[in-house]
């Protein structure tokens, strides 16, 4: 809170008297100045002879002024400022009997004669009654300083109200307070007044008692006048809550009735009275010193602790509060010296500059609660405003998952060029957009690295040992080209350059890419990969050509999408990853998901094929053995025959040659072997046909698996969703790349449309159309002819089919 520089305000109040020294005291017309004239010879030696008249300028002269007007002039503003947080101090200074107590407390007999304290209490409670925003609590205390001893005038523990040795003035960061001084909460004006009046009664009684008990000599001026300083304090605590403005304001009003300021010489006191007067004068002269010090801007140390009074008043005088002084003077010529002294004091007070500040504190917990409440209110306010301007969809809550997904989709479309701009809806949306862009950039970085790793066997170009080892192993040739896989059945047999720097072999790469354009894009998956688990990184699984084709496809996609009007994101859009996975990874996924059935058929066919091949080789081996056996037997029979011829042949009565048992057994064995050989040979022939047939089925399955995968890969990761919709059954265009049978049965116009579509939306672009079409047709043709011929072969040997093919045939699975 910025402090505004202020001056201490000082007023003079003249006690009405019939014996007013008109010649000596004169008031200015504006009622703000007072002139004192003293005749030189009025009283020799007392008044400085060199000066006979003085002029004092003050903030107001209260002469013949009612208590009400005095209050309004002196205290009203200060009290009202205390209600908004400024501390305030009003002091009545003057000689005994000049009307300090009358001004400060007034008389309890008549309402209209009540002084500043009861009026201030009234003003505070009236303000509380009228306040709506704040919750105000009021407390009071009443301190007496008598002969440098502190007394609690409202103490309930010490009935007499006499000094409590436990009491002490304590400095703390929040200000000065009197330890041990009771502070009483008062919820009504009456409560406060009761305490005040009770204290006053007690005070006077003690005073009187003191006079009797402590044998205090009757004061020459006024026996009832207090020779102590009395400080009545009103503590105000206001808690404000206006929206998020939760403030706690603490202020206090010190209303001080100072002890008489008369000088010792005048009172003519002795003994105890002299001691009292000395104390009083000491504390007042310290007060005066302090005031002089406060008025001097060069002074940095103010000796507040010199006396109890100045110490207690430390934060009530020292600059940060509103301070008002009332100099009570008597109008009689007799008291002109004291009057002069009081006016001097008042004028000096006016020199003090103060900078009152509002004593405000904030409760963090309360502030948080209030801020939360205000946020809710503001949201409601905004929602109302949005409704009025038809922006009902705007929300101010954190984004939901659906909204975030929507933003993601928008960003992807924006990056692809499908939409020109992203509409700004609200701050949260803008923040989310930036967040998503950041994520995309990170993903792209990873993707590029992954793509490089999958494309190249990255070897540190300075790692000569690894390069040499790779060369030795034949992974790379001397020109650092990865050796292609030498598998006749591979679709993806190719050579891929390995270079530490991607693009280092730019020329070659482009050439390869262009070559691929001519040849058409081939599947990147080899036959071996179909069976094998994921290849290791060192195995080159995706060729430069594939990547180039994919890149081109993507670029062309973007170009095509550019022409399309923007559409809201579909669910597929939201589920699709921002970058396609590598083909080997995707292929594993495909085999488990969409391609699981084809893969199963493929595997089953392959296992049947293997079983047949195994059987075939067993049968072939057996035939060979039989053949050898037969030859052996034939040799033995020949030997037998020669032996028979040498010994002479026996013929029976019918002329049949008689052979011995050994030869007979050999002949029988040979016959059996021949039979076995024939059946084995027949089985082998059947198996060969079956193997051929199965081989074709396996090939067909392999082709289908790869082709279906290519389509699935394109549809899942490359072709924009809206194109896919058109390709779906019931859509504008029917998919035709694979399954082949669907292409073949397309109507002519549909076929045309499909071809047109292929030219524009195929993942590898128009250049790959011819390749795909040709590949499909040839595959189909080959499969068809091979299957037919093997079936023909099987049909030619019905007997064998019964034995082998028929029982095995149905176990082969057809994939169409």
Q: How far is the CB of 230 from Mg ion (least distance, A)?
A: 8
- Residue number, 145 or 467, with CB nearest to ligand ADP: 145
**What is the rounded CA–CA span in Å between residue 730 and residue 570?**
18
Q: How far is the CB of 256 from ligand ADP (least distance, A)?
A: 12
Q: How far is the CB of 101 from ligand ADP (least distance, A)?
A: 3
Q: Would you count residue 101 as binding Mg ion (CB under 5 A)?
A: yes
Other beta carbons within 10 Å of 201: 11
- Residue number, 25 or 684, with CB nearest to ligand ADP: 25
**In the complex, which residues of this chain contact ligand ADP (CB under 6 A)?**
15-16, 94, 96-102, 107, 222, 225, 260, 328
Q: Would you count residue 65 as binding Mg ion (CB under 5 A)?
A: no
Identify the sign of the CA torsion 372, 377, 382, 384. positive
Which of ligand ADP, Mg ion, none does residue 605 bind to, with CB < 5 to 8 Å depending on kind? none
- Residue number, 249 or 325, with CB nearest to Mg ion: 325
Which of ligand ADP, Mg ion, none does residue 328 bind to, with CB < 5 to 8 Å depending on kind? ligand ADP
* Long-range contacts (CB closer than 8 Å, 24 or more residues apart) made by 150-153: 150/178, 150/180, 150/181, 150/308, 151/228, 152/180, 152/181, 152/182, 153/199, 153/202, 153/203, 153/230
297 SS3 class: coil
- The DSSP H or E segment spanning 481 is strand 481-482
Q: How far is the CB of 361 from ligand ADP (least distance, A)?
A: 37
- For residues 288 and 52, the answer to whether their CB atoms sit within 8 Å is no
Q: How far is the CB of 179 from ligand ADP (least distance, A)?
A: 28
**What is the rounded CA–CA span in Å between residue 102 and residue 108?**
10
- Residue number, 68 or 638, with CB nearest to ligand ADP: 68
Which of ligand ADP, Mg ion, none does residue 540 bind to, with CB < 5 to 8 Å depending on kind? none
Which of ligand ADP, Mg ion, none does residue 16 bind to, with CB < 5 to 8 Å depending on kind? ligand ADP
Is 774 annotated as belonging to a binding site? no
Is 202 annotated as belonging to a binding site? no
Q: How far is the CB of 235 from ligand ADP (least distance, A)?
A: 24
Which of ligand ADP, Mg ion, none does residue 281 bind to, with CB < 5 to 8 Å depending on kind? none
Is 95 annotated as belonging to a binding site? yes
Residue number closest to Mg ion, CB atom: 101
Other beta carbons within 10 Å of 493: 15
Residues 6 or more apart whose CB falls under 8 angstroms from that of 410 comprise 419, 422, 433, 569
Q: How far is the CB of 183 from ligand ADP (least distance, A)?
A: 25
- For residues 232 and 178, the answer to whether their CB atoms sit within 8 Å is no
Which of Mg ion, ligand ADP, none does residue 102 bind to, with CB < 5 to 8 Å depending on kind? ligand ADP
Beta strands 353-354 and 25-27, pairing class: unpaired
Q: Would you count residue 225 as binding Mg ion (CB under 5 A)?
A: yes
Is 101 annotated as belonging to a binding site? yes
- For residues 653 and 711, the answer to whether their CB atoms sit within 8 Å is no
| Residue written as token pair 């060979």 | 624
The candidate with the shortest Cα–Cα distance to 331, out of 320, 344, 321, 340, is 340
451 SS3 class: helix
- Residue number, 225 or 354, with CB nearest to Mg ion: 225
- Residue number, 97 or 736, with CB nearest to ligand ADP: 97
Is 799 annotated as belonging to a binding site? no
- For residues 198 and 187, the answer to whether their CB atoms sit within 8 Å is no
Burial 360-370 (b: 16+ CB within 10 A, else e): eeeeeeeeeeb
**What is the rounded CA–CA span in Å between residue 358 and residue 145?**
28
Which of Mg ion, ligand ADP, none does residue 696 bind to, with CB < 5 to 8 Å depending on kind? none
Which of Mg ion, ligand ADP, none does residue 85 bind to, with CB < 5 to 8 Å depending on kind? none
The candidate with the shortest Cα–Cα distance to 800, out of 694, 685, 677, is 685
Which of ligand ADP, Mg ion, none does residue 578 bind to, with CB < 5 to 8 Å depending on kind? none
- Residue number, 208 or 668, with CB nearest to ligand ADP: 208
Q: Left (φ > 0), alpha (ψ -120 to 50) or beta: where does 648 sit?
A: left
Residues 6 or more apart whose CB falls under 8 angstroms from that of 702 comprise 527, 530, 602
- Residue number, 328 or 724, with CB nearest to ligand ADP: 328
Is 94 annotated as belonging to a binding site? yes
Q: How far is the CB of 231 from ligand ADP (least distance, A)?
A: 14
Q: How far is the CB of 342 from ligand ADP (least distance, A)?
A: 10
- Residue number, 100 or 734, with CB nearest to ligand ADP: 100
Q: How far is the CB of 269 from ligand ADP (least distance, A)?
A: 15
- Residue number, 50 or 112, with CB nearest to ligand ADP: 112
Interface ranges with Mg ion (CB under 5 A): 100-101, 225-226
Annotated binding site: 94-101
Annotated binding site for ATP: 94-101
């Amino acid at each position: 809170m910025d402090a505004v520089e202020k001056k201490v305000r000082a007023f003079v109040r003249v006690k009405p008297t019939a014996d007013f020294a008109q010649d000596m005291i004169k008031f200015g017309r504006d009622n703000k100045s007072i002139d004192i004239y003293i005749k030189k010879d009025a009283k020799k030696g007392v008044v400085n002879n060199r000066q006979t008249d003085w002029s004092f300028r003050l903030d107001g002269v209260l002469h013949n002024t009612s208590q009400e007007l005095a209050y309004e002039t002196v205290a009203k503003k200060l009290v009202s400022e205390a209600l908004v947080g400024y501390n305030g101090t009003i002091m009545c200074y003057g000689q005994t009997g000049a009307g300090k107590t009358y001004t400060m407390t007034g008389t309890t007999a008549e309402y209209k004669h009540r002084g500043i304290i009861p009026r201030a209490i009234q003003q505070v409670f009236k303000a509380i009654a009228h306040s709506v925003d704040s919750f105000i609590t009021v407390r009071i205390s009443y301190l007496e300083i008598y002969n440098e001893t502190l007394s609690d005038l409202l103490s309930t523990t010490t009935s007499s109200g006499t000094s409590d040795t436990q009491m002490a003035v304590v400095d703390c960061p929040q200000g000065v307070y009197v330890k041990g001084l009771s502070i009483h909460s008062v919820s009504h004006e009456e409560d406060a007044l009761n305490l005040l009046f009770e204290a006053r009664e007690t005070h006077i009684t003690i005073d009187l008692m003191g006079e009797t008990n402590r044998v205090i000599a009757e004061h020459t001026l006024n026996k009832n006048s207090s020779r102590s300083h009395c400080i009545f304090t009103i503590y105000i605590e206001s808690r404000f809550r206006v929206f998020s403005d939760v403030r706690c304001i603490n202020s206090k009003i010190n209303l001080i009735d100072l002890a008489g300021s008369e000088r010792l010489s005048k009172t003519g006191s002795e003994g105890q009275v002299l001691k009292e007067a000395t104390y009083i004068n000491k504390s007042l002269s310290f007060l005066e010193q302090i005031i002089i010090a406060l008025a001097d801007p060069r002074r940095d140390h103010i000796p507040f602790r010199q006396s109890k009074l100045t110490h207690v008043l430390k934060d009530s005088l020292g600059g940060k509060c509103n301070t008002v002084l009332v100099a009570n003077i008597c109008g009689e010529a007799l008291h002109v010296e004291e009057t002069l002294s009081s006016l001097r004091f008042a004028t000096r007070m006016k020199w003090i500059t103060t900078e009152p500040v509002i004593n405000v504190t904030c409760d963090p917990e309360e502030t948080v609660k209030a801020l939360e409440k205000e946020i809710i209110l503001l949201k409601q306010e905004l929602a109302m405003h949005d409704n009025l301007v038809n922006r009902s969809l705007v929300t101010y809550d954190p984004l939901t998952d659906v909204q975030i997904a929507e933003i993601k989709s928008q960003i992807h479309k924006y990056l692809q060029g499908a939409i020109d701009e992203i509409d700004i809806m609200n701050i949260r949306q803008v923040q989310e957009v930036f967040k998503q862009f950041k994520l995309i950039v990170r993903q792209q970085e990873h993707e590029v690295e992954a793509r490089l790793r999958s494309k190249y066997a990255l070897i540190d170009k300075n790692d000569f040992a690894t390069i040499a080892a790779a060369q030795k192993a034949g992974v790379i040739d001397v020109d650092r080209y990865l050796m292609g896989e030498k598998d006749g059945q591979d679709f993806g047999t190719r050579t891929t350059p390995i270079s530490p720097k991607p693009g280092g072999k730019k020329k070659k790469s482009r050439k390869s890419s262009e070559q691929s354009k001519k040849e058409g894009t081939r599947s990147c998956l080899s036959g071996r990969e179909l069976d094998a688990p994921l290849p290791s990184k060192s195995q080159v699984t995706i060729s430069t050509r594939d990547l180039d084709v994919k890149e081109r496809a993507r670029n062309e996609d973007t170009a095509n999408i550019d022409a399309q009007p923007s559409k809201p994101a579909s669910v597929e859009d939201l589920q699709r990853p921002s970058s396609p996975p590598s083909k080997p990874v995707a292929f594993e996924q495909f085999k488990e998901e969409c391609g699981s059935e084809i893969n199963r058929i493929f595997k089953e066919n392959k296992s049947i094929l293997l079983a047949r091949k195994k059987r075939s080789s067993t049968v072939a081996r057996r035939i060979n053995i039989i053949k050898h056996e037969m030859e052996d037997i034939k040799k033995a029979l020949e030997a037998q025959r020669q032996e028979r011829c040498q010994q002479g042949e026996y013929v029976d009565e019918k002329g049949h040659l008689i052979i011995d048992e050994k030869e007979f057994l050999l002949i029988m064995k040979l016959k059996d072997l021949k039979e076995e050989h024939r059946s084995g040979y027949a089985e082998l022939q059947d198996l060969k046909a079956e193997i051929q047939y199965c081989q074709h089925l396996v090939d067909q399955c392999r082709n289908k698996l790869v082709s279906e995968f290519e389509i699935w890969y394109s549809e899942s990761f490359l072709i924009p969703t809206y194109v896919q919709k058109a390709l779906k059954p019931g859509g504008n265009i029917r998919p035709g790349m694979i399954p082949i049978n669907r292409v073949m049965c397309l109507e002519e116009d549909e076929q045309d449309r499909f071809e047109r579509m292929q030219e524009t939306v195929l993942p590898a672009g128009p250049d790959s159309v011819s390749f795909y079409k040709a590949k499909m047709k040839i595959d189909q043709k080959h499969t068809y002819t091979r299957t037919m011929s093997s079936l023909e072969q099987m049909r030619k040997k019905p007997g064998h089919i019964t034995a082998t093919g028929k029982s095995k045939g149905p176990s082969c699975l057809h994939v169409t």
